[in-house]
Structure formats: structure tokens, C-alpha cells
Amino acid sequence: MLPMRFDNLYSHDFARLAVGVPMCRVADPAFNAEQTIALLHQAAAEGAAVVAFPELGLSAYSCDDLFHQRALLDGCEAALAAVVAATQDLPTVAIVGMPLRVEHRLFNCAVVLLRGRILGVVPKTFLPNYGEFYEARQFCSGEEATLATVTLLRQQVPFGSRQVFAAEDLPLLRLHVEICEDVWTPIPPSSFAALAGATVLVNLSASNVVIGKAGYRRQLVSQQSARCLAAYVYSSAGAGESTTDLAWDGQALISENGELLVESERFVRRSQLVTADVDLERLARERMRQTSFGDSVRLHASYVSGFRHVPFKLALDRDQPLALRRRVERFPYVPADHSRRDERCQEVYNIQVQGLTQRLASSGIHKLIVGISGGLDSTHALLVAARAMDALGLPRTNIIGVTMPGFATGERTRQQALRLMAAVGCEAREIDIRPSCTQMLQDIGHPHRDDQPVYDITFENVQAGERTSHLFRLANLSGGLVLGTGDLSELALGWCTYGVGDHMSHYNVNASVPKTLIQHLVRWVAETGQLGAGTDTQVLLDILGTEISPELIPGSLQSTEATVGAYALQDFNLFYTLRHGYAPAKIAFLARHAWGEVYALAEIKRVLCIFVQRFFKGSQFKRSCVPNAPKVGSGGSLSPRGDWRAPSDSEAVVWLADLDRVPDERA
């Protein structure tokens, strides 16, 4: 493994990509090269590994029959020589567009440059010859090329559309280039390139603007990046192109796996550069995870095998810090778009309610038993249960809510449990479990029988077990199902009592919902009046303001987060472990970027260490036998029947070793 500068984005398989939209002059290659070189130097100064420029950018796209003039073609080659010279000491791949003569024919080409070398030339495959386009009048398709190598500026260089340019010192960076119309076809060349291993798909485009076209480009680029599980870099011609019959908006886009990362300003009369940091590991991980991608490689193997891989070395400076320029959500499980909050929250509830109503309908059981602690998880489960009864046309009194105070139950949470059940309108019961717990402790010979203040794990789990035992027996008595309340975060950390404890239920609606999302959902119900007019929604806000605690040890306010770490960080750790399979050092890098203003890197590392030890080493046996529960989000679940299958006796050594790469302070 290469030495790692922790605070350099390239150490974590990110790559900074750039698109330059230079001012241009029609048929003035020297001016166009000058503008291109200025943006190239800017991209390199900003740490970009790749910068793409517009289609036919050295000549301008709108030259029409001037493309057949020798003076213009010679001028473009001279301009290319200037750009090549400008790349001599830059660790940035530049991709420029120009017309190129090959074997007495003219091709619309992209030229790939690095450190004074021409890595390859890619001709355009599909030539639009409809509407305002007449490219077949001037150019030949790359499919008509008979040479695999051409001489350009006294260099022998690969020529053809089936090329993947592979960075040896950034192995996940593999480039493919196509030109404008290529991506507008039913099967773009980049689709096959992705199957051949390209992770960054580059499109040199000119693309005049008409009403509605900008939105269509966004969709096209985002969808191609999603289908190919790739980054897609799209350039477009801007100010300076001929407006004899057309107009130009200079739209540049960078998308990653369906997500638009950046877009240039449109209709500006100046050169501009946009950059985005692309997560190459995410793309590689998704391709590995989605077996249909591999199936597509197999299906098209004969064509894909014809791709040529052209190696190069960026020789990036990794000894200097290079901060990430990318939005990393602090709460990856929580809807980030506030304008769509209601829709997303409603969707979560609908998924949980659908799972529960189907289970009740298929079992023929019409009653639910829910243990109500006055805390978050049981509150959310009760809200889901109420909605399920509404959906089935059954009274909410078919829900038996039971609060079961133990040795350390606070009056605040007890009252919150009672108020919540009253607000929902379920049947409310209270069972004091202290007598049965005392009997159990006496039966097993625990020191508590002699009034000794020994508050060990046995003392705690006896209470958790008695609560669950009461719920199951009450379910037998009333002909109902015990509804589980434990959430995804607790399963990940093993923060549940195994077997006869909060680990077990007949059906659990919360098992794939993390703590931070439950907090968000409960707040949404309170703020939007989902319980109905005239109900006590303040109880939901009071529950949200209550310290998360198991309340099992007398005389002590047990803080769950003091033991397992802040749930905000642990849910962050879980998402990037479960959904993306990232190693701890990268997760810490992302967490520092997202949470650095709140938590020091040392604290991020400490909490991540707790996660690694509990998740990989200490708690899989609990996840191997969890009750049925509906999967809610793309962030994954931990059911052994769904997203996560793992041995119960694995080690955490490799994850802890990777975590050691994280410094305690910024470095």
C-alpha cells in the first residue's frame, strides 16, 4: 500500500475532475490554444487529475466548410503543439478537441495529453447529419478508420474510439473519451467502455442551445453515469462560437452514478472552469456489488475485448494537503432535501406500515403488543402500529401498549410513555417488573438478593429479559403479535439484549431504520400534526429532548452515547461501511470533512474504533438471527436474509489496522 497523506483526497481514491469552457474565436487556433492553456494551468493549480475541453475547441465547432481549408488545419496542429508543450510539467491529463487529417480523410477528434506526450487520439463515432447539423459533410466516422496508430507532432500515438486510458499510480482512474453525438445514441460508445473498465467517461461536446436542451443534457449525462456506474464529464462550447444560425450556452456538467455534482454557469462571456471530486472507489464498489454489471461484461465480451488500454502516470504530488471539495452529508440516512422532506418521511412510514399490515393480514392476527419506554424507538414503532391499524380499518385500541418500569426508570420517561399512549389512542397498561426481576435475581443467586449494590450486566439483562417475557406472554393471552422496536443503529453496535430481551419480537418495523432517521421521523410527525388535531404532539418533542438511556442502573443516568459513541457519528460510520464497504481510514476522512467543525479528528477516530470492534468482532451473532423486518432504505439492512451475511466469529484485525493509519490530529 502506498504511503498515505491522510488529508490529501487522492489518498482515498477520489479524483478531482475539471471541465474548461474557454472563450473562443472561430477559425483562430492560436487564440483558442491560449485560452485553453490558461484554463489548463488553472485546473492543474487546483489539483485536477483530468480537464476536458469542448469539441473541436482548437478551431471552434462552427467553422463549417472552413474545416477543409489547409490553413485552418495546419493552424490547429500548431495550436495543439502549443498545448502539448504547456502540459510538459503538469500532472493533469488534458483532453482537447480538433479536426485531424488521417489518410486523406478528416476526423473530428479528441486528443489526450499528459506531460508533453500525446497519449492517444479518439475520433468521433456518430456524426449527426440532421436538423442544424451537417457533420457528415466535413468529417468521417471513427468507425471508418483503417489505422490503429497515427503520427501526430512526430509522435506515434494510438488512434481509435476503443481506448481506455489507465492511470498506473491511481489505479481506479480509467478514462474513456467520446464526442458529443456519441452519447445521444441508443448505445453510446461509453457504455462499452465502462464494461471495459473505464470509470471516468469524458464527452467533448459543442452542442448548440435551444429551449429545453439544457435540462435534457442534465438528464442524459446523469442517466449515462448511472447506467454505466461511472463518472461522466461533459463539456460544451460557449461564447465566441458563430451565431450565424445557432446560439451556445457553454453548459459543462460532471455527474457521478446518477448524481449531478457540478454545473457551469450558462450564457457567460468569459472563460470558466468547473471542478468536482469524484469518488472512484464508490464506482468500483458499485460495479463489484451489482452482479448485473458483470453479466453485461460477459454478454458483450467479444466487443469489449477489442478495447486497448493505454497506461500513463500522473505523478501527483501527494505530500501536500488537498482538501475534499464535495458535499458529504452529516446524516446520510436522513433526507437532505428539505423541500422533499414530507414525501420522504411519508415514504418511510408507508414502507414500514405496508410490511406490518401484510404480516397482520397474512397471520390473521389483529392485535399488537408494544413495549413503550418513553424513548425514541418505541415511540416510532407505536406511531407505525397506529398507522397500520388505520390502514386495516381496525381500532387503535387493538394495540396494547405496555410501559414496564424497572429499578432505574425515571418519572420523566414513565410519564412520557403514558402521555404517548394516550395521544395515540391505544390500550395503555403498566406492569411493574421489579417484583419479577427481584425473584429472578434471587433464583439465580445474584448478589442483589442480599441487597448488595451490584449493577452488572446480569442485573441489566434480567430487566430487559423480564420486559420481553411479559410482552410475549401477554401476546399469547391476547392473541397478538409482539412488535419489535430496536433500530438499525443498535443492531450494528450490538446494543441489545440477546434472545429473551429487546433483541427478539414477532416482527420488527424498525430493524432497518437508524437512530438518526428515527429522530427525524418523530420530529416530522410532531411538526406536521400527523397524529391529528387536538392530540398531544408536545410529548413527541419531549421524547426527542430526552437523553438516550437504557435506564437500568439505579442512581445513575446512563448515557448510551457515552458508552457506544455519538449516534450521529455511528450512523455515519455504519452507512459507509454497509453501503459502500469503505475502510476505516476513508470513513474517518469523510467524517472529518463532514463533522470537523463539531468533533475533533481524535474523537472521530475513537468513536470509529468503537464501531469497528463492536460491528466486526462483537455482535454479528445477534444479527444472524434477527426477526423479520422490512428493508426501508438503500443504505441497507443487517438481516442475514437480505443485505448482510457475515460469520459470527470473525476478527476485526484488518479494520483496526487500517484505522491506525488515521492520525489523532490533522496531518
Residue 28: other Cβ atoms inside 10 A: 18
Separation between Cα atoms, residue 591 and residue 512, nearest integer Å: 22
List the catalytic residue out of 24, 55, 256, 426: 55
| 124 is annotated as an active-site residue | yes
Collapsed DSSP state (helix, strand, coil) of residue 598: coil
- Render the burial of 628-653: b for 16+ CB within 10 Å, e for the rest: ebbbbbebbbbbeeeebeeeeeeebe
Is 432 annotated to bind a ligand? Reply is no
Asked whether residue 490 is marked as a ligand-binding residue, the answer is yes
- Which residue in 63, 76, 124, 228 is the catalytic one? 124
Q: Is 313 marked as binding a ligand? A: no
Q: Does 333 belong to an annotated binding site?
A: no
Phi-psi region for residue 264, left (φ > 0), alpha (ψ -120 to 50) or beta?
beta
Task: List CB contacts of 413: < 8 A, sequence separation 6 or more.
Answer: 373, 374, 375, 546, 551
130 assigned to a ligand binding site: yes
Distance separating alpha carbons of residues 294 and 348, to the nearest angstrom: 31
Is 596 among the annotated ligand-binding positions? no
H or E, element range at 507: strand 507-508
Does 546 carry a binding-site annotation?
Answer: no
Given the residues 24, 63, 76, 180, select the one marked as catalytic: 180
What is the spatial distance between Cα 279 and Cα 27, in angstroms, rounded to a whole number?
Answer: 38
Q: State how beta strands 259-263 and 507-508 pair.
A: unpaired
* 507 annotated as a binding-site residue: no
Q: For residue 566, which of 521, 601, 522, 611 has the smallest C-alpha distance?
A: 611
- What CA–CA distance (Å, rounded) separates 637 from 648? 17
Answer for the pair 396, 529: CB distance below 8 angstroms, yes or no.
Answer: no
* Burial class (CB within 10 angstroms; exposed 0-12, middle 13-18, buried 19+) of 434: middle
Distance between terminal CA atoms of the chain? 18
Residue 350 assigned ligand-binding role: no
Check the annotation: does 363 bind a ligand: no
CB atoms within 10 A of CB 430: 14
Task: Please give the Cα distance from 85 to 88 (Å, whole number).
Answer: 5
Contacts of 96 (CB under 8 A, 6+ apart): 36, 53, 57, 58, 80, 83, 110, 111, 113, 204
Annotation-wise, does 379 bind a ligand? Answer: no
Per the annotation, the verdict on 55 as an active-site residue is yes
Is 498 assigned to a binding site?
yes
- Does the annotation flag 425 for ligand binding? no
57 is in an annotated binding site: no
Answer whether 363's CB lies under 8 Å from 481's CB.
yes
- Cα-flanking dihedrals φ and ψ of residue 378, to 5°? -70, -30
Does 213 appear as a known binding residue?
yes
Q: Which of 328, 202, 394, 378 is nearest to 587 (CA)?
A: 328
**573 annotated to bind ligand:** no
Annotated binding-site members for L-glutamine: 130, 207, 213
**Which positions are annotated as active-site residues?**
55, 124, 180
Q: Which residues are known binding-site members for ATP?
A: 371-378, 485
Q: Which residues fall in the annotated binding site for deamido-NAD(+)? A: 461, 490, 495-498, 622
Q: Give the annotated binding-site residues.
A: 130, 207, 213, 371-378, 461, 485, 490, 495-498, 622
